Amino acid sequence: MDYQASILSFFGVVCTLLSILMAATSFIEQQKQAAVKALILLIPFLAISIVPMYVPADFYWILACINLVIIVGAVYLFLPSFFFSSKTENKANGNIDERTIMFARCELKPGTERFDSYYKEFPSHKTNDDGFRKLPGLLGQDSKFYNPLSFEATKSIFQIVDGLHEHVEGETKKNTNQLSQEEYGQFIKTWAKKSGVKSIGFTQMKDYHWYSVGGRGDRYGKSIEQNHHTGIAFTVEMDHEMVKAAPKASIIMESANQYLQAGIIAVQLAQFIRNCGFEARAHIDGNYQVVAPLVARDANLGEIGRMGLLMTPELGPRVRVGVVTTNMPLAHVERKYDDSYEDFCTKCLKCAINCPASAIPEKKPLLINGVKRWQINSEQCFNYWCTAGTDCGRCMSTCPYSHPNNIMHNMVRWSIRQFPNFRFWAVKMDDFFYGRKAKPAKLPKWLQTRQ
C-alpha cells in the first residue's frame, strides 16, 4: 500500500479511536445524545480507515490532495500558543464595599436603622431591592424549583456553615517551632489535598483582595483591616451530576455542601496555623473579608471567566473557593497570567446564551473602573435566584470547561489552553455533541419528589 493511503488510513484510525472514546465517555456520563452522535461519526471514520487500502494506484493523487488538506488543517489547528502574541494581564483595581453586594443587601431588614441608612447612601438600589423582596426568595416554598427534601437539606447545611463562623478567628499560640517556608508550605498543601482539596496555592495579599467595608453580620459598616500578608487559596469540586441539573434544586444543595467542605478545611487550616504561632483567619461563606476568586486567581488556581467565576484548568467554574489569610511565612509564587481563558470565553458565549436571567454579557470585555473585564448584572442574577429558589448555576453547568474530569475532556481542556486556533473548533464540537442551548438534566432520582 502506498504511503499516501497509509497516511489517510492512519488519520481515519485516530479519528475512529477518538469517536469510540467519546461514545464511551458519553455513555458513562449518561449523555445519550452525544453518545449517539459519536457512534454515527464512526461510520465515515471507519470508511476513511479502510477505503484508502483499496484505491487503485492511478488515483493516489486524490489521496495526496486529501492528505495535504488534513496536514495543513492539523498544523493550523494545533499551532502552539507561542506563535501568537499574548494579551496583557487583566489587573484588578480598588476595593469593593461588601455592603453593596446582593447577599449583604438581602440581609437588610425593612424598618431597621441599617436598612434606612443604606438606601439613603445608595438610593439607586432601592427599586430593585424592593422588587426581589416580593419574590419567593432563596429556598422559598413558593419558588419555581421548590423541592422539600433538597431545600430542607440545604438549610441544614447552611446552618452548620453558620456555626463555623465563630471559629474563623482565634487565639494565636506561642511559636515553638522553627521550620522553613518550604516545610510549612509542603505540609499545608499535602494535608489540604488529603482533606479533599482539588487545587491550592499561596499568594501575596494585595489591596484589591480585601473588601473596603464589611457588609454582613457584626462586620457591617466596619472598615476591613488588612492584617495579613499571605493568602492561601484552594478549591473543592462540585459534583457534576448535581450541577448538570441546574437551575433545579440539586445545584443549591451541592453549593451548600461544598461551601461547608471548604469552610471546614479553611477553619481547621487556620486553627493549625494559629497553633503553630502565626495569626490566621478563615474566610468562609457568609463571613468573608476578602474577594475569594481574586485571591485564588492570583494564587495561580485559574482565571476569571465571562460569568465572573474562577475558571480552573481541571474543572472550569465547577468549584467552590476557600481562603485563609495569615502572616505565616510561606513561599509565594508569582502570578502567571493565562490569556487562554479570556480568549476561549470570547469565542464561546455559552454561559451568556443559556443564562435564564440574561445577566451575563455577550459583548467583549469592557473597561470598568480602569479594568478591562466582563461585568455580570448581579441584580438580574440575584432576582432570578429569588424566583427559582436556587442559586441557579446554569452558567456553570453549560460551560464546556465544566465537563467531568476524565481522559476525553482533559485532552480537550489541555488543547484549549495550548492551541489558540483549536478554541473556536472546541466550541463548535461542544455545540455539536451537547447542543448550543441544551436543556437542564433531570434531577438525580434520589432527589425527585412528587411535588
Question: Closest by alpha carbon to 314, among 239, 240, 406, 202?
Answer: 406
- Distance, first Cα to last Cα, the chain: 65
Q: How high is the pLDDT of residue 451? A: 54
Distance, CA of 118 to CA of 113 (rounded, Å): 8
Cβ neighbours, 10 Å, residue 174: 5
Question: Closest by alpha carbon to 253, among 145, 395, 405, 413?
Answer: 145
Burial 43-59 (b: 16+ CB within 10 A, else e): eebeebbeebeebeeee
Q: Look over the chain and give the mean of its residue pLDDT values, rounded to a whole number.
A: 93
Q: How high is the pLDDT of residue 177? A: 75
Residues 176-202: what's their mean pLDDT? 93
Examine the pLDDT at 208 and tell me if it is beyond 90: yes
Contacts of 193 (CB under 8 A, 6+ apart): 200
Asked if 140 and 241 touch (Cβ cutoff 8 Å), the reply is: no
- Residue 148, preceding peptide bond in cis (omega within 30° of 0): no
Q: Phi and psi of 323, rounded to 5°?
A: -140, 140
Residue with cell 480598588: 94
pLDDT digit string, tens, across residues 385-439? 999 999 999 999 999 999 999 999 999 999 999 999 999 999 999 999 999 998 9
Strand ranges across the sheet with 280-283: 199-204, 230-237, 319-326, 280-283
Q: How high is the pLDDT of residue 333? A: 85
Distance, CA of 11 to CA of 8 (rounded, Å): 5
Q: How high is the pLDDT of residue 4? A: 85
Q: Phi and psi of 340, rounded to 5°?
A: -65, -30
pTM for the predicted model, two decimal places: 0.93
Q: In angstroms, what CA-CA distances link 325 with 58, 180, 226, 392?
A: 72, 18, 10, 29
Residues 81-92: what's their mean pLDDT? 75
Distance, CA of 414 to CA of 136 (rounded, Å): 42
Residues 188-199: what's their mean pLDDT? 97
Q: How high is the pLDDT of residue 3? A: 81
Distance, CA of 224 to CA of 9 (rounded, Å): 65
Percent of the chain with pLDDT over 70: 97
pLDDT digit string, tens, across residues 293-306? 999 999 999 999 99
Question: Closest by alpha carbon to 443, among 251, 258, 238, 155?
Answer: 251
